[in-house]
């Protein structure tokens, strides 16, 4: 029998016009301290984002999400924050910010398979 993993996840949102506070779910970050696991997945279409704001720079959004991905992965090209340990990287990625990329508050859960869980959450909350 597999052990249950206590994990936290947050939904990544794009807020094309911050003043309107409308958002689109575009990704998931899942973190498990005990398993030393952090993973981020994202997906968006230009059409969907432009339905909120026709002139929103989706190329810049993609570049910023790649930076988030590098930080989550601990990639050496992700800058100094990517060098933080896994819990610090998760806390930095999920910090409250008033920019075009925001995250929900972290939510806890229990699972046996972290990969299956991030895929399920991604399908349910993003796709």
pLDDT at site 98: 83
Q: Please report, for the chain, how many H helices and E strands are present, in that order.
A: 4, 5
CA 57 to chain CA centroid, nearest Å = 19
117 near 108, Cβ under 8 Å? Answer: no
pLDDT at site 73: 98
pLDDT at site 1: 62
Question: What is the distance between the alpha carbons of residues 30 and 108, in angstroms, rounded to a whole number?
Answer: 10
Question: What is the distance between the alpha carbons of residues 108 and 111, in angstroms, rounded to a whole number?
Answer: 10
Contacts of 74 (CB under 8 A, 6+ apart): 38, 82, 83, 86, 89
Question: What is the distance between the alpha carbons of residues 113 and 117, in angstroms, rounded to a whole number?
Answer: 6
Nearest to 23 by CA among 61, 49, 56: 49
For residue 38, give both structure tokens. 């952090």
SS3 at position 37: strand
For the segment 53-99, what is each residue's pLDDT rounded down to a tens digit? 999 999 999 999 999 999 999 999 999 999 999 999 999 999 998 88
Mean pLDDT within 22-26:
96
User: Taking all residues of the chain, what is their mean pLDDT, rounded to a whole number?
Assistant: 96
Nearest to 89 by CA among 1, 6, 26, 10: 10
Residue 46: pLDDT over 70: yes
Q: Domain residues of the chain, as ranges?
A: 5-125
């Amino acid at each position: 029998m597999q052990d249950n993993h206590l994990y936290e996840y947050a939904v990544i949102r794009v807020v094309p016009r911050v003043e309107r506070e409308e958002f689109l779910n575009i990704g998931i970050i899942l973190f498990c301290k005990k398993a030393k696991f952090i993973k981020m997945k994202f997906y968006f279409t230009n059409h969907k984002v432009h339905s909120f704001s026709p002139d929103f720079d989706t190329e810049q959004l993609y570049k910023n999400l790649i930076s988030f991905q590098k930080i989550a992965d601990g990639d050496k090209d992700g800058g100094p924050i990517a060098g933080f340990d896994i819990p610090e990287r998760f806390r930095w990625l999920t910090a409250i910010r008033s920019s075009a990329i925001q995250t929900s508050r972290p939510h806890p859960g229990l699972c046996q398979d972290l990969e299956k869980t991030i895929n399920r959450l991604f399908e349910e909350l993003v796709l």
